[in-house]
């Protein structure tokens, strides 16, 4: 089975273009399964089920979705296998730019919305740097010159990734995306897999539900600003 | 230079040509009703489609991967920067040496196709539709790296569209323009006609058409003249048409 992970901020167009790519994939006789990881709600993503393919949702609730994802990779892999899928696609809404959800054995796609301003790449961290493919959507809304500057800056951050422009409304670029997804390597198990990037630690009192802010409640790893 | 080999339309009929070769410095118009396959054709060109694509049209390029610039009615500037700041940043990404000089040329070029003057210190997001469109086009024309320019219905953008075509072909770009405007369609060096997802005709502009396009040009001038008059609060009278008819012949 192949695994593809599509991560990126909310509403960057992950579902829209993946639906188009899945249609190309299904016509080739390949059986996909899809899991969506989100924090609180993933009702928008139910459209995957309309393709009549196995679809599951995982909600991380109070946890960082990336930490949650890391602890659920094996479970999702086994679930997809039990559904006799040839390809597992995991869509995840990476939230903080400090995290990256990718693992070494999966094909890693970072979804980016062109309309987030050409200054955005400076704020992107590991999720862009560890991706195999940078998926750029909504280019239909901004100027050619801005797209070129955006691309240039992303290339500086991750010179090795393939860049694919797509349009989630028309499906433009979805066939190329499907081709890349299908080039991913086949794996039998995730036993030897590792995260591409260390996740930040959640080790202070607030990670586990503390709400009082006085100094005596600061426990664990604390980093206070110096003025 | 790109070469196009026949694909299939929505009725699974093969397109009726052997190989079409498109050149830099030429203008190609693309006509056909909505849904006739014009946008798909743009995608085929941008991605150099192979026989596995929707249209099964095969497109090959002499340059390894052509750099394609795309401009449509829907595109806007989103970044909060002045014209000068942004054009300079873009120029440095393109590896242009003298960015100040480059910026001045871009703005000057843009001003040659819009009636409302653009200034270097204007904010991009505050530009009018026509100003933004002309700046986008001038920036594409001045981009030494781009080979192919795809224009999607720019006729309503408040710019001198005939000058735009000339500017881009003078800059040695291969220009493809989707248009519903008969004048633009006729003035192109070549014309693609689309129906049901396929190319039905590929025509070279004839000498007769070139000659006759002058008439359309007259009608076009007259229309913009009437537009100007209406904007000035003038009335349009019958003698206006009569008088113009005389000067036309
Ligand atoms: N103009 C334009 N809109 C797009 C494009 N891609 C997606 N959209 C729109 O953007 C919105 C969000 O798209 P989704 O595919 O739901 O985004 P997502 O990344 O899956 O969002 P979450 O799952 O909530 O994180 C939808 O309204 C899409 O129609 C695009 O290329 N151009
Ligand atoms: Mg989604
Ligand atoms: Zn996180």
Domain at B48, CATH number: 3.40.50.300
**pLDDT tens-place string over residues B3-59:** 999 999 999 999 999 999 999 999 999 999 998 999 899 989 988 888 888 899 999
Quick check: helix, strand or coil at residue B220?
A: helix
Q: Quote the CA–CA distance of A227 and B174 in Å, as a whole number.
A: 58
Which pair of tokens denotes residue B193?
């006609």
Picking from B145, B161, B192, the residue at the C-terminal end of a domain is B145
Based on the domain organization, do B48 and B4 belong to the same domain?
yes
Residue whose C-alpha is closest to residue B40's, from B13, B65, B7, B73: B7
Q: Are A146 and B74 an interchain contact pair (Cβ–Cβ within 8 Å)?
A: no
Residue whose C-alpha is closest to residue A184's, from A102, A84, A76: A102
Q: Quote the CA–CA distance of B183 and B217 in Å, as a whole number.
A: 7
CA of residue A128 to ligand 1 center, whole Å = 19
Based on the domain organization, do B29 and B50 belong to the same domain?
yes
pLDDT at res. A32: 98
Give the global pTM: 0.87
Residue of A5, A6, A8, A15 with the most ligand 1 atoms within 8 Å of its CB, for mutation? A15
**CB-closest option in A142, A145, A175 to B139:** A145
**pLDDT tens-place string over residues A112-148:** 999 988 888 878 888 999 999 999 999 999 999 999 9
Number of domains present in the structure of chain B: 3
Q: Looking at beta carbons, which residues of chain A come within 8 Å of B76? A: 141-143
Based on the domain organization, do B131 and B13 belong to the same domain?
no
Contacts of B78 (CB under 8 A, 6+ apart): A115, A117, A141, A142, A146, B125
Based on the domain organization, do B89 and B138 belong to the same domain?
yes
Query: What is the value of ipTM here, to two decimals?
Result: 0.85
Supply the range of the domain harboring residue B222. 208-249
Question: What are chain A's domains?
Answer: 2-217 (3.40.50.300)
Phi, psi (degrees; rounded to nearest 5) at B4: -115, 125
Q: Are A142 and B86 an interchain contact pair (Cβ–Cβ within 8 Å)?
A: no
Based on the domain organization, do B162 and B112 belong to the same domain?
no
Based on the domain organization, do B213 and B157 belong to the same domain?
no
Q: Are B93 and A148 an interchain contact pair (Cβ–Cβ within 8 Å)?
A: yes
Based on the domain organization, do B231 and B166 belong to the same domain?
no
Q: Quote the CA–CA distance of B123 and B85 in Å, as a whole number.
A: 9
Based on the domain organization, do B81 and B140 belong to the same domain?
yes
Q: Quote the CA–CA distance of A206 and B151 in Å, as a whole number.
A: 53
Picking from B145, B169, B184, the residue at the C-terminal end of a domain is B145
Question: Is the pLDDT assigned to residue B249 strictly greater than 60?
Answer: no
Based on the domain organization, do B8 and B121 belong to the same domain?
no
Based on the domain organization, do B26 and B131 belong to the same domain?
no
Based on the domain organization, do B109 and B217 belong to the same domain?
no
């Amino acid at each position: 089975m192949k695994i593809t992970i599509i991560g990126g901020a909310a509403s960057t167009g992950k579902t829209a273009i993946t639906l188009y790519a899945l249609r190309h994939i299904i016509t080739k006789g390949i059986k996909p399964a899809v899991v969506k990881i989100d924090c609180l709600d993933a009702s928008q993503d139910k459209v995957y089920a309309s393709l009549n393919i196995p679809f599951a949702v995982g909600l991380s609730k109070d946890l960082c979705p990336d930490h949650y994802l890391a602890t659920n990779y094996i479970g999702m892999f086994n679930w997809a296998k039990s559904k006799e899928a040839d390809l597992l696609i995991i869509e995840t809404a990476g939230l903080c730019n400090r995290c990256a959800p990718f693992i070494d054995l999966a094909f890693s796609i970072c979804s980016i919305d062109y309309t987030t301003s050409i200054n955005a790449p400076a704020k992107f961290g590991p999720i862009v740097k560890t991706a195999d493919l940078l998926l750029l959507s909504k280019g239909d809304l901004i100027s050619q010159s801005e797209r070129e500057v955006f691309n240039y800056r992303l290339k500086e951050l991750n010179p090795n990734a393939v860049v694919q422009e797509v349009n989630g409304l028309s499906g433009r670029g979805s066939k190329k995306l499907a081709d890349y997804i299908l080039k991913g390597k086949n794996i039998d198990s995730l036993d030897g897999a590792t995260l591409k990037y260390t996740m930040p630690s959640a080790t202070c009192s607030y990670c586990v539900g503390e709400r009082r802010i006085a100094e005596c409640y600061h426990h664990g790893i604390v980093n206070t600003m110096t003025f | 230079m790109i070469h196009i080999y026949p694909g299939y339309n929505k009725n699974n009929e093969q397109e009726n040509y052997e190989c079409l070769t498109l050149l830099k410095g030429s203008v190609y118009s693309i006509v056909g009703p909505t849904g006739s396959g014009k946008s798909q054709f743009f995608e085929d060109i941008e991605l150099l489609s192979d026989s596995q694509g929707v249209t099964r049209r095969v497109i090959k390029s002499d340059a390894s991967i052509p750099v394609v610039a795309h401009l449509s009615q829907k595109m806007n500037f989103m970044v909060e920067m002045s014209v000068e700041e942004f054009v300079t940043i873009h120029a440095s990404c393109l590896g242009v040496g003298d960015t100040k000089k480059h910026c001045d040329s871009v703005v000057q070029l843009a001003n040659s196709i819009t009636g409302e003057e653009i200034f270097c210190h204007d904010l991009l997001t505050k530009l009018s539709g026509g100003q933004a469109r002309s700046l986008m086009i001038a920036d594409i024309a001045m981009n030494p790296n781009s080979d192919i320019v795809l224009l999607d219905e720019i006729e309503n953008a408040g710019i001198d569209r005939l000058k735009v075509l000339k500017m881009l072909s003078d800059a040695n770009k291969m220009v493809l323009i989707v248009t519903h405007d008969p004048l633009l369609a006729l003035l192109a060096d070549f014309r693609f006609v689309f129906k049901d997802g396929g190319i039905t005709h590929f025509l070279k502009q004839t000498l007769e058409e070139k000659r006759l396009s002058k008439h359309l040009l007259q009608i076009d001038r007259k229309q913009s003249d009437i537009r100007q008059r209406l904007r000035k609060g003038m009335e349009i009278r019958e003698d206006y048409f009569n008088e113009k008819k005389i000067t036309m012949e």
